[in-house]
């Protein structure tokens, strides 16, 4: 009986295999960039065969779209959207995310950047389909924050929002992605803490 090549994992769990490929691709795209990650790199990291990878993702673009819509979206959803929705107020939730991410990065000892922010500069002008996938995730992120901010304003708990919850949500997302880029360059999350202080003042938290 033929054996699977060493390092490859035989599986009757197609969804589990697909998940391993997505995890490996997401990690590679963050560390090496989209262009710097080959399909063979991902095959090796996931411990699958090339045929198994291509069964689920016919092209590298297909794989990247799935990473954006599933792995990157999930991280934004858990780190940002769920956290702000569950907080006593949107303002408290927003500030706590900045501070919590800074604390987590201190514990990790390394900053790899914002998953969405890392991919956007590389792909936005190079591939229209992937640009649109990235745009969807930014739009979802901003819309969720704006909804929470507007809810608090209408309840009389956030007068600083005024009639521009969408603009404030844009500002928060821009501050976070920018701070993460600086933190990545400096390998120090102090920029996130500076944003948290500014937002505490701005939003009177």
- Same domain for 46 and 146, yes or no, is no
Q: Which two tokens stand for residue 146?
A: 């704006």
Q: Are residues 141 and 154 in the same domain?
A: yes
d(CA 161, CA 144): 15
Verify that 134 and 82 share a domain, yes or no.
Answer: yes
Range of the domain at 167: 60-203
Is the pLDDT at 139 greater than 50? The verdict is yes
Structure tokens at 87: 């907080």
C-alpha to C-alpha distances, 35 to 30, 46, 84, nearest whole angstrom: 11, 18, 33
On whether both 49 and 128 belong to a single domain, the answer is: no
Residues 120 and 44 in one domain: no
Pair 46, 84 in one domain: no
Q: Give me the pLDDT at residue 13, please.
A: 85
Task: Report whether pLDDT(4) > 60.
Answer: no
Residues 109 and 170 in one domain: yes
The answer to whether 58 and 79 have CB atoms below 8 angstroms apart is: no
pTM of the predicted protein model:
0.89
Q: What is the percentage of the chain residues whose pLDDT exceeds 90? A: 91
Across the range 128-139, mean pLDDT stands at 97
| pLDDT, mean of residues 144-148 | 98
Q: Indicate if the pLDDT at residue 2 is higher than 80.
A: no
**SS3 sequence, the chain?**
CCCCCCCCCCCCCHHHHHHHHHHHHHHHHHHHCCCCCCHHHHHHHHCCCHHHHHHHCCCHHHHHHHHHHHHHHHHHHHHHHHHHHHCCCHHHHHHHHHHHHHHHHHHHCCCCCCHHHHHHHHHCCCCHHHHHHHHHHHHHHHHHHHHHHHHHHHCCCCHHHCCCHHHHHHHHHHHHHHHHHHHHHHCCCHHHHHHHHHHHHHHCC
CATH number, residue 9? 1.10.10.60
Return left, alpha or beta for 204; rule: phi > 0 is left, psi -120 to 50 is alpha, else beta. left
How many domains is the chain built from?
2
Q: What is the average pLDDT across 158-176?
A: 96
């Amino acid at each position: 009986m033929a054996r699977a090549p060493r390092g490859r994992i035989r599986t009757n769990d197609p969804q589990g295999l697909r998940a391993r490929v997505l995890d490996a691709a997401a990690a590679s795209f963050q560390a090496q960039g989209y262009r710097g990650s080959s399909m063979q790199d991902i095959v090796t990291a996931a411990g699958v065969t090339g045929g198994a990878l291509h069964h689920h993702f016919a092209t590298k673009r297909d794989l990247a779209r799935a990473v954006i819509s599933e792995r990157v979206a999930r991280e934004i959803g858990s780190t940002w959207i769920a956290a702000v929705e569950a907080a006593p107020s949107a303002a408290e939730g927003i500030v706590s995310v900045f501070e919590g991410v800074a604390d987590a990065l201190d514990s990790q000892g390394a900053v790899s950047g914002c998953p969405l922010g890392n991919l956007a500069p590389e792909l936005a002008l190079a591939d229209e389909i992937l640009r649109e996938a990235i745009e969807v995730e930014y739009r979802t992120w901003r819309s969720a924050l704006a909804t929470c901010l507007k809810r608090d304003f209408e309840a009389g708990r956030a007068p600083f929002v005024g009639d521009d919850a969408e603009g404030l949500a844009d500002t928060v997302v821009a501050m976070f992605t920018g701070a993460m880029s600086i933190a990545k360059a400096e390998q120090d999350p102090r920029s996130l803490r500076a944003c948290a202080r500014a937002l505490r003042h701005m939003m009177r938290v």
